[in-house]
Amino acid sequence: MVLNITSMLERLHMQSVSDQLFLEESLGDYGDAVDEENDTVTYSNPVIDNVIEESGAEGFRTLTNFNPMEFEIVWSVVETELQARWNDSRGRKSKTTPKNALFITLVIMKYYQTWEKHALDFDNKAPTLEKIVLRVVEVVSPLIYNYFVVMPTMEQIHVSGHPFANYPYAKYATDVKFQPSHRPAGGFGEQKHYFSGKHKLYGLKIEASFSPQGKLVDMSNHEPGSVSDLTTFRKRHDTHVANLTKTPSEATINDNGELHQTSPNVWAVLVGKNYVGLTESVRAVHPKKRPIHGALDCLDPGRNAAVSADRAIVENFSAGTFVWGTKIFDGIQRLNFALTNFHVGLMPLREDDRHHYRSVLARYARMAEEKIT
């Protein structure tokens, strides 16, 4: 075969010149548009990026209760699972990124009004926004709960230097959180099951236990409002016994407190006056009620005050939750309380020791990185 090298070179040269002329013409016609596009910031997470750009870290914290660095810690806990499951359902794929969706969920959990009002804030349709947020809650609630809610050992509590001030042999304080809700549908018999005689409202209850450090360590599924606090505790009797039973290594910890003689192998739990009668099955320490037609002993008021003082962490923690529906109530509560655990751990550090606060964040970041690798 004889190749016409000269002809081939001329043809390729002409093609190169033609391509260059086309590029120059394109630059002349569309160069300004390209420059404008290059000057435009492209956001990978538009909602988050716009918030930080317009209001900074403080605006971000005001909206979510977390600054951007803290939010990244929460995101690292759920990132892999949320991204994997974000578009695994049928129908149209969401235009909202998983990370933006988590941010939006935190904002709405803090400031919930109506879906219609929040839809205007986030430039979305109310049904779509509701679907996005409920999807986030479904996926991330168990992940965040399991990560931030941990039952400590009594050894860990004592090593921390923060046992209960008056009852150092109590492992946690337990109470019930009542959440009002709309009057449920159905007949009167079904409705009254959700009516709390104590609060005179329809609603749901959850039982929650808190460590001396003020963190949630255990939570029940919800119960209808008419179920008594004592009944709720007894339904979870086996769970409490397992949590309170002393381990072999805890046998060396000094314990000469109330009910030690009758329950030497379990730690105490602090409860309220409405748990009278619980001491038959659990080492429950509660304030004493004044007998009918009688009076308390002279030492009882002081003891009651001591029990109430240690149990104050329950009231400090349990505030400001809401109901979006019974089907997802447990998921919302677990997410809310678990995030509060993270928040409680950070807030004192913000005020007292910035170096230690940054060290804690770094530790969380390292744990998240090690989890991925």
CA-nearest of 191, 170, 132, 138 to 310 is 170
State how far the Cα of 345 lies from the Cα of 330, in Å rounded to an integer.
Answer: 23
Position 174 scores a pLDDT of: 96
State how far the Cα of 112 lies from the Cα of 268, in Å rounded to an integer.
Answer: 38
Residue count (the chain):
373
CB of 217 within 8 A of CB of 184? no
Other beta carbons within 10 Å of 47: 19
Position 366 scores a pLDDT of: 65
Position 349 scores a pLDDT of: 42
Domains in the chain: boundaries: 46-148+354-372, 154-323
State how far the Cα of 47 lies from the Cα of 54, in Å rounded to an integer.
Answer: 11
Position 268 scores a pLDDT of: 97
Q: Nearest 5°: CA angle at 61, between 59 and 66?
A: 160
Position 70 scores a pLDDT of: 93
Q: Number of C-alpha atoms within 13 angstroms, CB side, residue 212?
A: 24
Position 352 scores a pLDDT of: 46
The helix, strand and coil proportions of the chain, stated in percent and rounded to the nearest 5, come to 60, 10, 30
Position 165 scores a pLDDT of: 92
Low-confidence ranges of the chain (pLDDT < 50): 40-42, 349-353, 357
Position 343 scores a pLDDT of: 85
Position 4 scores a pLDDT of: 64
Backbone angles phi, psi at 218, to 5 degrees: -165, 145
Other beta carbons within 10 Å of 116: 12
R_g over Cα of the chain: 29
State how far the Cα of 362 lies from the Cα of 348, in Å rounded to an integer.
Answer: 17
Residue 162 neighbours by CB under 8 Å, 6+ apart? 212, 213
